[in-house]
Amino acid sequence: MKINYELMKSTWAKYLFLGLLVGSFATEVVIPQVAVAQTTTPKKKPVKKKKKPAPKPTAAVVAVDTTAKAALTPVKKTLPVIGDTIRRSLRNDGAVERNLIKDRIPLAYQHIREDDAVYRQRVWEDIDTRQKINLPFRYKATEDNGDQRFIAILINAIRDSSITAFDPVDDRFTTPITVDKIADELVGKADTVALYDPVTNLKRKDTVISEDFDPNAIVKFEIKEEWVFDKQSSRMYCRILGIAPLKIITREDGTVIGETPLFWVYYPDLRPVLARYEAYNGHNFGSRMTWEELFENRVFSGYIVKSTIDNPFDRRIAQFIKDPVLRLLESDKQREKIFDYEQDLWQY
């Protein structure tokens, strides 16, 4: 077979020329695109203008601004501290070491079945601490566990979160009350007074002024209790449910308008606290009972201000009897009804 080399050379020459032609055409097309890409100018980013620093205020302006910030800052309220900080004795302060009071635990109540409670009456009593038998409520001494006044025991227990205080919106312990609200009721809301510079007559700052709490101003307490006759043990029980200190409301001239509870405390929660405090005994200082024993043994005097006996409209005695002497007689009459029920069950 004879190969025609002349034909092959001409064919390869054609292909080479065609390749060069295509390459030149591609170069002519790409180069203008690159050129265009290089000639396009990028968009410039907007330059942020620097703010000029504000001029420094004068000393008088700074004082006013600081006052404005201080006025907006809320004042944190706490319960008033009754007495000085508790200072414990470094030596045995007595002829006899008394350590049992620290470990006392109140006895649990005897359980009363609902079917055995054949008689129940609720009673609200007021305890006036100005009566001679109630003077332990006003005992002002300070001991290793702090102030011995009863209102101080309640407030210190609330501050230490040992018990929960409830809002006096009702006496059924439905709404816990905040510490700020108790502080407002005890010492009133704080007033803000502006102080001015005597030279420039510009306001320098605001000062918060509040009154001091006087524990001796609390002279009454209200207790809520229930009298229950248990047919299983044939005994009448009195169970205290709650205690509330009463605040006396007066006019500017000192005239008494009325009384209102500051807060309610659930008594079963308060019993362990009261078991660690001793009540004052004016006849024998060495044989004192605890506050829990004082309430359980009813070593106090009170008068009924409301009860569930013949009271379908749930009214207090003061609402239908205006004479204070007749109110006391009605209080004794309702107490006798409770005792007479128990006595009438027996035959002699």
pLDDT given for residue 196 in this prediction: 72
Rounded mean pLDDT of 104-110?
91
* Token pair listed for 200: 């420039």
* Token pair listed for 59: 């000393």
Beta pairing class for 264-266 and 303-307: unpaired
pLDDT given for residue 49 in this prediction: 55
Confidence of residue 12 (pLDDT cuts 50, 70, 90): low
Q: What percent of the chain shows pLDDT beyond 70? A: 71
Contacts of 295 (CB under 8 A, 6+ apart): 240, 267, 274
pLDDT given for residue 68 in this prediction: 40
* Token pair listed for 62: 């700074």
Q: What percent of the chain shows pLDDT beyond 90? A: 50
What's the pLDDT tens digit per position in 191-209? 666 777 777 777 666 666 6
What's the pLDDT tens digit per position in 31-90? 444 444 444 455 555 555 555 555 554 444 334 344 444 344 444 455 555 545 678 888
Confidence of residue 137 (pLDDT cuts 50, 70, 90): very high
Amino acid at residue number 276? R
User: How far apart (Å, rounded) are the C-alpha atoms in residues 140 and 130?
Assistant: 14
Query: Taking all residues of the chain, what is their mean pLDDT, rounded to a whole number?
Result: 81
pLDDT given for residue 306 in this prediction: 97
For 128-147, give one letter per residue: b (16+ CB within 10 A) or e: bbeeeebebbbbeeeeeebb
Give Cα 15 to chain centroid, integer Å. 99
pLDDT given for residue 309 in this prediction: 96
Q: How many CB atoms lie within 10 A of CB 190?
A: 15
CB 293 within 8 A of CB 274: no
**Is 124 or 160 the better-scoring residue by pLDDT?**
124
Confidence of residue 183 (pLDDT cuts 50, 70, 90): confident
φ/ψ (deg, to 5) at 208: -90, 125
Q: Can you give the residue ranges of every domain in the chain? A: 113-177+212-344
Using H for helix, E for strand and C for coil, what is the string for 13-40?
A: HHHHHHHHHHHHHHHHHHHHHHHHHHHC
Asked if the model's pLDDT at residue 115 lies above 90, the reply is yes
What's the pLDDT tens digit per position in 257-281? 889 999 999 999 999 999 999 999 9
pLDDT given for residue 30 in this prediction: 43
What's the pLDDT tens digit per position in 238-259? 999 999 999 988 888 878 888 9
* Long-range contact set of residues 282-289: C-beta below 8 Å, sequence gap at least 24: 282/135, 286/96
